[in-house]
Structure 1
Amino acid sequence: MEGTLTTDSVSDSDFLKEFYIPNYILVPDSKSDSTPPPQLPQCPVLVFINSKSGGQLGADLLKTYSALLNENQVFDLGKEAPDVVLRRIYLNLEKLKSNDEFAAKIQEKLRIIVAGGDGTAGWLLGVVCDLKLSHPLPIATMPLGTGNNLPFAFGWGKKNPGTDVQAVMAFMKKVKNAKEMKIDNWHILMRMRAPKEGSCDPIAPLELPHSLHAVHRVSPTDELNMEGYITFRGGFWNYFSMGMDAQVSYAFHSERKLHPEKFKNQLINQSTYAKLGCTQGWFLASLYHPSSRNIAHLATVKIMKKTGQWEKLHVPNR
């Protein structure tokens, strides 16, 4: 009979209500319903998807999440920057919550799902960090990239997910039941000897992956500045690469930006990454590069474990 629901669809509908956010929360100046919402979602989510990740998987996930949830709580990172979205929604929540207990509870329970690779996850982590919220938003990372090291480290897996309704709902169930964990937020200082001629400043326009905060040069009056050196400061999450690893990662990023059609799925991407590693002599570095180019000869790495106490990190000389 037209309009009837099966037992499974009723159950699915009740499940999805646990994540649903009404329009008046998401869209400033929109009118709320005259009747109060039937139930408070236990796991309201904002979904950010890198539609360019995972070949066509990102675009497929956009369709699935938009069909299951309010389409206004699902965002394509290729069209809307997450900092703009979150500032807009949080400003609206702050305006509403003084007279709206439902809005206050949404803000308290809000979580983020981000579908993309390590770079996309790092982008969202940076944005949430910059917002300086009293209760930072928990972020669930749906592995959609090539390596997916960050999602794997937090138990979300490495393999690109399914994009059908059941696969997405299974992931949402994991998000609802997940416990919050903290992630290290590292600050980094880079110092290099000031050149006798020329400049160390990057050539404009500087195009960085969204996952990276621009590493800014500190001012001459900053206490971190040292005479005879140029000092830069920035931040990172989970891991930081130097030397050959960073060179290969940047080459991969540049190639994908120039030829996105070549990066259709995770297996092809991993193969391309391996080929780039081989061209850099990754596996036979001692034969391709003189020892004088070893990172241990070019840089000194120190870690501050306690305020003001720097400890030198041993870098193998091979």
Structure 2
Amino acid sequence: MDDKSEEVLQDFRIPDYILVPGSKVKTASHIPSCPVIAFINTKSGGQLGGELLITYCSLLSKNQVFDLGKNSPDKVLHQLYATLEVLKSTGDVLAGEVQKKLRIIVAGGDGTAGWLLGVISDLKLPKPPPVATVPLGTGNNLPFSFGWGKKNPGTDRQSVLSFLNQVKIAKEMKMDSWHMIMRMKTPKQGACDPIAPLELPHSLHAFHRVSVTDKLNMEGCHTFRGGFWNYFSMGMDAQVSYAFHSERKSHPEKFKNQLVNQTTYLKLASTQGWFCPSLHHPSSRNMAQLTKVKIMRKHGKWEDLNIPHSIRSIVCLNLPSFSGGLNPWGNPNQRKSAYRDLTPPYVDDGLLEIVGFRNAWHGLVLLSSKGHGTRLAQTNRVRFEFHKGAADHTFMRMDGEPWKQPLPVDDDTVVVEISPSSQVTMLATPLCQSKSIHDPSSPRIYQDNYDSSSEEECGEDWEERRKFGAADTFKIPDGVEISHLS
């Protein structure tokens, strides 16, 4: 490595005495302008994750690069911030600068990135470190939304050095996160998969802390809660995703690169009937027949949302990227926006965009510059109620992780409710697709769509949510194999 490259890398390196507890404190000759910690899922991207780990270790200190298959990010970050606080208390200037300027790099799929974002939320720091995402998954919606691309990156030294330089100059941008709660009874019969912790997304975990006044707080009822950063969807798109993940789980050797994964996904979409749903998908399983949808535009006031009978898939979007870079919401023109009270899809306005799709052909209109799905609503909170009907199950998906959801077979009700959680700080490049409501250069129709009163406590319902916190919402439980993440 030439002297110039070595000099550049000094801006990213953190001295070992900060990274390794108990090390002898040394006087630093250089204060890094962009200290980084890198977390890499070596199971992502076929062999790319492992190659990327080797390259990062060769460029940075090996103590600031972590293999997520061997190191728990919550333990790493807790230890780092504890060490920084101790050193700062002794007057260590470098420790203070590292804490102030620290940036996080996470390499993996959207599931891996969501895991890290949840861990950072769990720290509840006054100034959480911003995060840059390396696209190593199949869809890579998070990296694409903030300008880091959707194709798997190069793993050579020059490619990694170029990425580090982008991290150094990237701007910070806030992003909303969303809390989801699901209540259901354990099905006594039916052909559904058993509901076990590993059959649900890693970000959706069982818990038992429901209020005593909760109507579903009864024997035989399970309550789940979790969260997402990108999207929650249900219907045919989730069904195709479930088939893909099931196939990948059964034959992991067939899914070694991004192109093969995407090709397999398209084949499954065809075999699942997503392109010809009228032949393979009975109308009794359309969304309007399966669920009753309520939205909350203003705090405390639920209203029914009409779902067209032809809609077979509903997507609740937080970011302007779905299925590998498509934007289902699009950009409503000013006339329609004023008539329907719609805005562009900001990532920090406390609003979800709810979009419907009839079939895969409907989804293909997103490939055109002005294409979009059926815009159903923008809302601060949404509630889905499933009652006994023609179907005994449906499919759901959250940030790329699908599951098969049993539906009521008697007079029971399955309830899914989504509400605002918190915000994290992302790093964005000039190619960023996401828009901020606080950025003067972002297009906007109305200034204040987010009702801040929704953050106020509101009786038992809000008090229950407040107890959850952001921590366990996104935490990967012990014993979960990292390869199950995208």
> How high is the TM-score relative to the length of structure 2?
0.58
Deviation track 1:62-93 (CA, whole Å, cap 9, x = no partner) reads 01000000011111111112122112212222
From 160, 168, 175, the counterpart of 2:167:
175
Structure 2: how far apart are the matches of 1:179 and 1:165? 24
From 273, 278, 293, the counterpart of 2:270:
278
From 63, 82, 92, the counterpart of 2:54:
63
Amino acid at match of 2:259: L
Deviation track 1:98-142 (CA, whole Å, cap 9, x = no partner) reads 112211211111111111111111111111112211112211011
From 260, 283, 295, the counterpart of 2:252:
260
CA shift, 1:54, in A, is 1.1
> Which one has the bigger helix percentage?
1
Structure 2: how far apart are the matches of 1:311 and 1:12? 59
From 50, 56, 77, the counterpart of 2:41:
50
Structure 1: how far apart are the matches of 2:36 and 2:213? 40
Q: Are residue 243 (structure 1) and residue 235 (structure 2) matched? A: yes
Q: Are residue 151 (structure 1) and residue 138 (structure 2) matched? A: no
Change (3 A) 1:137 1:309: farther
From 112, 116, 121, the counterpart of 1:120:
112
Change (3 A) 1:224 1:106: farther
> Helix, strand or coil: the match of 1:255?
helix
Q: What CA RMSD, in Å, does the superposition of the two structures yield over aligned residues? A: 2.7
The match for 1:31 is 24
Q: Are residue 90 (structure 1) and residue 81 (structure 2) matched? A: yes
State which drifts further: 81-90 or 252-261.
252-261
Structure 2: how far apart are the matches of 1:56 and 1:163? 10
From 60, 64, 72, the counterpart of 1:73:
64
State which drifts further: 91-100 or 212-221.
212-221
The match for 2:157 is 165
CA shift, 1:265, in A, is 0.9
Higher RCO structure (Cα 8 Å, ≥6 apart): 2
The answer to whether the 8 Å contact 1:126/1:213 transfers is no
State which drifts further: 92-101 or 174-183.
92-101
The answer to whether the 8 Å contact 1:191/1:230 transfers is yes
CA shift, 1:242, in A, is 1.5
Structure 1: how far apart are the matches of 2:292 and 2:112? 29
Change (3 A) 1:124 1:38: same
Q: Which runs of 4+ in 1 moved over 6 A?
A: 198-202, 226-230
CA shift, 1:257, in A, is 3.4
The match for 2:11 is 18
Identity %: 63
Q: Are residue 40 (structure 1) and residue 37 (structure 2) matched? A: no
Deviation track 1:164-203 (CA, whole Å, cap 9, x = no partner) reads 11111111111100000111111123345x5795799964
Amino acid at match of 2:79: R
Structure 1: how far apart are the matches of 2:107 and 2:251? 21
Structure 1: how far apart are the matches of 2:113 and 2:273? 29
Structure 1: how far apart are the matches of 2:64 and 2:309? 50
Structure 1: how far apart are the matches of 2:256 and 2:77? 30
The answer to whether the 8 Å contact 1:183/1:238 transfers is no
> Helix, strand or coil: the match of 1:124?
helix
Structure 1: how far apart are the matches of 2:25 and 2:51? 30
Unaligned runs of at least 5 residues, structure 2: 311-486
The answer to whether the 8 Å contact 2:197/2:205 transfers is no
> How high is the TM-score relative to the length of structure 1?
0.86
Change (3 A) 1:313 1:136: farther
Change (3 A) 1:242 1:173: same
Q: Are residue 190 (structure 1) and residue 201 (structure 2) matched? A: no
The answer to whether the 8 Å contact 1:49/1:76 transfers is yes
Structure 2: how far apart are the matches of 1:233 and 1:79? 27
